[in-house]
Amino acid sequence: MKYLLSLLFLFFININSASVSTDLSAPGFELVDSYGENISLSNFEGKTVVLEWTNHDCPYVAKHYATGNMQNTQEQAKDQGVVWLTIISSAPGTQGYVLPAKANELTATRNAQPNHVLFDSEGGVGKMYGAKTTPHMYVIDKKGALRYQGAIDDAGGPDFWTKNLLDADNYIKNALGEMQDGQAISTKVSKPYGCSVKYKS
Amino acid sequence: MKKLYTIGHNVRLAALLLLISFFPAKSFTSSYFDTGESSINLITESYQVNTKDTLLVGIEFKLSPGWHTYWKNPGDSGEGATIKWNLPPGFKASDILWPGPKKIPVNPLMTFGYDDKALLLTEIKTPGQFSGPVTISAKVNWLTCKDICIPQEGEVDLTLMKGPKTISEFATKLTEIALTIPKKFPAQSRVTKINEKIFLQFEKEGSSNISEAYFFPNEYGLISYVKDQKLERNNNSFSLQLNRAEVRVETDKLKGVLKLKIDETEEFYELDLPIEGASNSPILAMSLLTGIVFAFLGGIILNAMPCVFPILSIKILGFIKQSQGSKKKLVQHGLIFSAGVLTTFLAISWLLIFLRASGEAIGWGYQLQSPWVVSILIYLFVAIGIVFMGNIVLGSSLANFGSLAKNRTDFLSSFFTGVLAVIVASPCTAPFMGPAVGLALLQPGLKSIVIFLALGIGFSLPYLMLSIYPQLLSKLPKPGEWMQTFKQIMAFPMWAAALWLAWVLSAQVDMESVFAVLVGALLIALALWLMEKTQSSDQLLKRITVLFSLGLMIFSIWLIPLNQDDESSNLRNEVNNFSAQKLSSLRSEKKAIFVNFTADWCITCKVNEAIALDQDNVKKLLREKDIVYLKADWTRKDPEIASILARYGRTGVPLYLLFPPVGAPTILPELLTESLLLDFLNEIN
């Protein structure tokens, strides 16, 4: 019987929970943005979309914004006509949860350039994409396929706090550039680094 | 600037320090440093050290209740500590010796680290010459987290005298912790990857008390941090089942730390093992080699499937008779039969490649979506049954089935038996075959042909073996009257197959068309009977009957409906019927969903439905767990279903998808049993 069961194992094909696979189609979602508008991923069909999971009080995110690295990446994306969606999955009462007005203020004071800041306080979209850290980045191509997921750059690790982020190898800039040139993406997956996403528990 | 690192009231010194970290921070240093959430302390086993000596020192972290810091692999988030040593010339510090970590869940994520206390050890080697006293100092960066995270930095130092080592007040503590540093695993162990699971197997003698095991991976992207690891034991053998990571980074090594809980103590072992078994199966990722092996196994098993078995058992009867003849002939027959099989598989693979190139959604069993093919198969199965039942001998040019046992010299007959065997096999899928054919259809031309050939070789292997080693035949009963009886009995499964195909047809076309095909089958039977009856008549009568019979057959074929009738069935209107739209709306309602991709012509599907899906316990559990059951019926062509099958790397049915309320679906095995299905359903919350 054991042998039979182990044979059965050979047929097991089990796609694990809560994640998305690179090069397969990115799951759709609809969230409310900081202006109270319903924003759906399908609104941006035909455009490249970057998803950025954020929590402004997370020290990792704070450093990316304080150094201008995140804004710089957003700027380049914007120049290429890429849609940038910043998503907050912090649950009410947890770090990074903000009201719409505060979100807009953060965008203004930090000179950030997202097309929309989206609220995912139930965490459904974050969990669907398997967003684990802030920041955690995803790039979706014009056809709706996920092309990159992971960290924003290779600055993660022990020396993060002392590194100059603008010198780091920026995976998002690389991926967007390569996609624009019709090249294969050199880094499709990287280990995301940062604070944990403050999901509703 | 300062505001950027301000996280409520908790930052204070830490933030300040971070900002001024590029200044020499001499004034802060001592062996002790406190940030409020945590403190570090540099401790040593001895305040005295000689030349060419090894000194064990450690950074001791004390964390306020609720706070934790991280292991070298922090898990889903966070960061392990770093220690930068500033040592006198010639002194060398080892890398951090990390004690075994703890699981620290941060729902829904998992992190690895230490709460309340952590002691990170370092070995310091002294040079052949130095003059004391010396100062060693360490700059430590670490992250402490509770619900929020704070990066911390501190510098600690210590003065050492020169002289033989003594025993400090921390010596015991340090040596105790040193014992918990993961050791090389002493026992035999290996790692095997089987589809989505990685099995870490090890032997441990006298280990009756291992109550728990957990593997902490060193690297990202191999195994899931969150998912439970299941430990199974068999005497002294253990198997720890690890789940693959949600997002993959391919690697061929399993590196990390294994924790074993023996009685109440925990032991940690360092592992660095090659992963055996190349397959990592969403089919898309299945290697060509695995595909070939699967195809080969599938081919062998295909022989035992109900649609093929009768034909091939008759072929074996042929062998029994042939075994009386020359050995050489026997081998030739075996080879020619295999050639027939391979040619047909080759033809099928070319046809499929051609169809794929022209944009058709194809798969194994795909041809059965065409009522025309189904009807022809009905005629074929009826005809084979009649031939089995009677005594008919048709001309060898028709390579007829009945001559198999009789016409032992006829190679063409062997060849066409091979062709026929593959054709009648087409409604059947065997285990292993599904993934292999799925892979074949996703591969570029040449590779897909190789896989189909492997299928063919597996399929013809048993007969090839029998013809090369006729000794094996002596195990079979001697030829005799019973062969005739057996042949006749085998007519019944053939007719049963025809009946089943008629039922398949009834789901594709209206009743009148099914009736027309049944009449056609009757006419085929009449034609065959006429030909048999006039076998020994004179030439003229024989010719007239052959012509008349041919006319009957052509008329039968003319009776076949050409297109599937879209309105004859109201299957689409059933509540449980699948549509991509229904699926996505249920998904957005966060419902758990079970989707059964099936087709009437798929025997495996029907068997699974009978033994698993239709069982009362399953239905009950579906209701209790509020899991929505959807049936995606692929009996007829349906591009929407084909595209979803493709998304999961399939080109055919069955496919069973179990969607949890949130997250990606689980693909269930192709062969379901009731208990297996119940287990899967029970995992849904």
Residues in chain B within 8 Å Cβ distance of A59: 5, 7, 149-151
CA distance B637 to B642: 8
Contact of B111 with chain A, judged by CB distance below 8 Å, is answered with: yes
Under a CB-based contact definition with an 8 Å cutoff, are residues B219 and B187 in contact? no
Q: Does pTM top 0.90 for this prediction? A: no
Residues in chain B within 8 Å Cβ distance of A165: none
Residue A1 domain-assigned (yes or no): no
Under a CB-based contact definition with an 8 Å cutoff, are residues B492 and B386 in contact? no
Residue A17 domain-assigned (yes or no): no
Residue in chain A lying closest to B21 (CA): A162
Blockwise average pLDDT, block size 10, chain A, 201 residues: 34 34 79 92 92 94 94 94 95 92 94 95 89 94 90 87 90 93 88 90 76
CATH code, A107: 3.40.30.10
- In this chain, the answer to whether the domains covering B2-168 and B184-276 adopt an identical fold is yes
**What Cα–Cα distance (Å) separates residue B259 from each residue in B177, B237, B436, B654?**
15, 16, 38, 40
Q: Which fold has domain B184-276?
A: Immunoglobulin-like (2.60.40)
Verify whether the Cβ–Cβ distance A9 to B663 is below 8 Å.
Answer: no
Of B149, B196, B671, the CB nearest to A8: B671
Closest CA to A26 of A124, A146, A132, A137: A146
CA distance A121 to chain B (A): 14
Identify the three-state secondary structure at position B584: helix
CA distance B630 to B632: 6
Closest CA to B433 of B333, B308, B613, B334: B308
CA distance B50 to B130: 9
**What Cα–Cα distance (Å) separates residue A150 from each residue in B60, B214, B489?**
32, 26, 63
Of A57, A158, A159, the CB nearest to B148: A57
CA distance A63 to B643: 44
Residue A128 domain-assigned (yes or no): yes
Residue A150 domain-assigned (yes or no): yes
Residue A22 domain-assigned (yes or no): no
CA distance B286 to B295: 12
* Per-residue tokens: B544: 């007239």
Identify the three-state secondary structure at position A150: strand
CA distance B502 to B601: 10
CA distance B280 to B250: 10
Q: What are phi and psi of B644, to 5 degrees?
A: -70, -40
Verify whether the Cβ–Cβ distance A17 to B1 is below 8 Å.
Answer: no
- Which residues in chain B land under pLDDT 70? 1-30, 194-196, 206-208, 234-235, 277-287, 306-307, 317-326, 355-368, 391-410, 426-432, 434-435, 438-439, 441-445, 470, 473-480, 536, 562-575, 603, 649, 651, 685
Return the bridge partners of B161, or none: B48
Residue A10 domain-assigned (yes or no): no
CA distance B617 to B516: 41
Under a CB-based contact definition with an 8 Å cutoff, are residues B238 and B231 in contact? yes
CA distance B374 to B635: 11
Residue in chain A lying closest to B82 (CA): A158
**What Cα–Cα distance (Å) separates residue B570 from each residue in B63, B503, B573, B602?**
67, 16, 6, 20
HEC assignment per residue over B288-341: HHHHHHHHHHHHHHHCCCCCCHHHHHHHHHHHHHHCCCCHHHHHHHHHHHHHHH
Q: What is the ipTM of this complex?
A: 0.79
User: What architecture is the B571-682 domain classified under in CATH?
Assistant: 3-Layer(aba) Sandwich (3.40)
Residues in chain B within 8 Å Cβ distance of A22: 247
Residue A188 domain-assigned (yes or no): yes
Under a CB-based contact definition with an 8 Å cutoff, are residues B255 and B262 in contact? no
Beta strands A83-88 and A136-140, pairing class: unpaired
Of A9, A14, A59, the CB nearest to B667: A14
Of B5, B76, B283, the CB nearest to A132: B76
Beta strands B189-194 and B265-276, pairing class: parallel
Of A11, A150, A192, the CB nearest to B669: A11
Q: How far apart are the first and last CA of chain A?
A: 41
CA distance B350 to chain A (A): 27
**Amino acid B465: pLDDT:** 82
Residues in chain B within 8 Å Cβ distance of A192: 77
CA distance B486 to B474: 18
Of B109, B148, B664, the CB nearest to A15: B664
Residue in chain B lying closest to A22 (CA): B247
Domain membership of residue A78 as a residue range? 27-196
Verify whether the Cβ–Cβ distance B662 to A124 is below 8 Å.
Answer: yes
Contact of B540 with chain A, judged by CB distance below 8 Å, is answered with: no
Residue in chain B lying closest to A136 (CA): B77
* Per-residue tokens: B111: 């992190």
Structural domain total, chain A: 1
pLDDT digits (tens, 9 = 90+) for B568-608: 343 444 557 788 888 888 888 888 899 998 887 776 777 77
Verify whether the Cβ–Cβ distance B647 to A13 is below 8 Å.
Answer: no
Give the best residue of B2, B70, B77, B250 to mutate against chain A (max A CB count within 10 A): B77
Beta strands B265-276 and B183-184, pairing class: parallel
CA distance A198 to chain B (A): 8
Closest CA to B77 of A15, A95, A147, A105: A95
CA distance B19 to chain A (A): 10
Phi-psi region of B590 (alpha: psi -120 to 50; beta: other; left: phi over 0): left
Of B18, B77, B667, the CB nearest to A133: B77
CATH number of B2-168: 2.60.40.1250
Give domain limits for chain B.
Answer: 2-168, 184-276, 286-558, 571-682
